Chain A
Amino acid sequence: MRKVAVIGVGQSRFGELWDRSFRDIMLEAGVEALEDAGLEGKEIDALFVGNMSAGRYIAQEHVATLIADYAGLAELNIPSVRVEAADASGGLAVRMAHLAVASGMHDIVIAAGVEKVTDAGELSMEIMSSSADMEWEGFVGATLSAIYAMMTKLHMKEFGTTEEDLAMVSVKNHRNAVNNPKAQFKSEISVDAVLNSPYVAEPLKLLDCAPISDGAACVVLASEEVAKQYTDTPVYIKSSAQASDYLALHSRKDLTTMQSVVTASRQAYKQAGVEARDIDVAELHDSFTIAEIMAYEDLGFIEKGKGAELIREGIVEMGGEIPVNPSGGLKACGHAVGATGVRQVAELVLQLRGGAGKRQVECETALALNIGGTGGTAVVTILGR
């Protein structure tokens, strides 16, 4: 397998982009990535597009071709592939692009992610919830937040995690987003504001839950040899791994561990030749605050059950030992479903280049975790200089 570099990154603003179409936001991220890479466009060999549900959000399928077309690549007739794994679609698109270059099949490949959710209005939440098992979870009214809420209660009962611990995750991510010009929520919130926000599914409150946002992100991958023609400071994908699990929470052996995260991260560490303690900065999938705390444990940042200590002791804050979600994470940067996994990688590339502005973390090795639904898919990407 060949070494693969990221030579360009771009992202649209995340949020409720009422005035912008699916095509507009994807193009904005794509143009920024190509400019960043110094590509004209015709050098691109293939395109992978992460998207969860354009069919239901905007009644448009066949979006891989739509995006190739609007990116001005239709003349070149390059292959363009849509990748779907619920809200891990973006991370998986990066992995597919990584494999396409690492294998020697292609030299320059784009991984993009895009979702336009606000057109679906009040249906956007239940479309998101269709990442769970619709026949045996969705039918009985178990929304995504309800399923995470049941995991939360078990984690609280078994390990003593509190509602204040969860609130602190949200507060941290909001504080970080203040310094991210692309973020949806650029304002600090207090622990009390989180605790006093209305329940979505008890014990999870509105401010424990990431919004469902419009947005797009794009990264350009190239083989090591080709990358050197474009940049003197390439950032490398040291490894990527994906794992699956039972779709429905009730079928899993351990209800407070995401086995997909454990499996994917151990494979990624091994392939990259690193250990959990070597990670300097991470973008983790905080679709719900409990998901970030469980991720600390399942990634091996700390032992099972002690995740809340990392937030209580400030270890995951900016300036701490392992800053988590310097971008603001899904909670505050916004969760544009299929775009999220690509956005996470774009953020870490900026961090590793030293180009993250006011939210810069000193780092050499970085990890992104993108989760589909309640943990049925996990994608881990490790990047380094």
Chain B
Amino acid sequence: MLPRFWRKIRYRYDLIGTRCNTCGRNYYPPRNFCPVCRRRSSIEEVQLSGYGTVLSYSIVHDTPVGLKMEKPYVVALIQLDEGPIITSQLACEPEEVHDGMRVKAVFRKYGEDGEDGIIYYGTKFIPAEEA
């Protein structure tokens, strides 16, 4: 888990995506190559607002070994306001969640590596206060 986690740490902590200036599409997870424009891609990083809407979610009971302590937890498909859909955890009680719920990104712990005790952090989402 370790090397590939650290390589993407900027994008996980800050919700930095990418934009293709050729077609105007935003990507998160970030892509260095636009699947629509391919060789004509013109990619730059873009800071996403961190606000989005829950499209679908599941309360997970059968978890990977490393996430046993967290169960049950909520995984959701969230459509960010800039367009991309991402998979993330919701840092709230399962009963609070509903489809169409407005959420915002926060920085949270994801788990730890049992053997060397390294703690992983990343983005989760919490219910957003509507203005």
Chain A residues within CB distance 8 Å of chain B: 122-123, 125-126, 129, 134-143, 145-147, 149-151, 153-154, 157, 198-204, 246, 248-251, 255
Contact = CB atoms under 8 A, between A and B. Distances in A.
Chain A binding surface SS class: helix
Contact of B122 (A138, A139, A149, A204): A139
A199 B61 contact: yes
A201 B71 CA distance: 11
Contact of A150 (B76, B89, B120): B76
A136 B4 CA distance: 11
Given A141-B89, A150-B56, A125 B77 contact: no
Q: 10 closest A-B pairs (Cβ-Cβ)?
A: A149-B58, A150-B56, A126-B64, A200-B62, A250-B85, A202-B59, A201-B58, A136-B29, A153-B56, A142-B75
B56 A140 contact: no
A135 B87 CA distance: 11
B77 A122 contact: no
A125 B67 CA distance: 13
Nearest to B64: A126
Interface string B59-83: 1111111010010010111000000
Chain B binding surface SS class: strand
9 contacts: A126-B65, A129-B64, A137-B87, A139-B120, A141-B110, A143-B60, A146-B75, A202-B61, A250-B86
Given A137-B87, A154-B55, A249-B87, A200 B61 contact: yes
Interface in B27-73: 29, 35, 55-65, 67, 70, 73
A125 B68 CA distance: 13
A256 to B, nearest CB: 10
Contact of A135 (B29, B70, B85, B110): B29
Nearest to A123: B65
Contacts, number: 99
A248 B62 contact: no
Interface in B5-32: 5, 8, 29
Given A125-B64, A126-B65, A248-B87, A141 B55 contact: no
Given A136-B29, A153-B57, A201 B62 contact: yes
Nearest to B12: A139
A140 B64 contact: no
A150 B58 CA distance: 6
A142 to B, nearest CB: 5
Given A122-B65, A140-B89, A249-B87, A146 B70 contact: no
A144 to B, nearest CB: 10
B99 interface: yes
B29 A141 contact: no
B58 A249 contact: no
Given A136-B86, A250-B86, A141 B73 contact: yes
Contacts of A135: 4, 8, 29
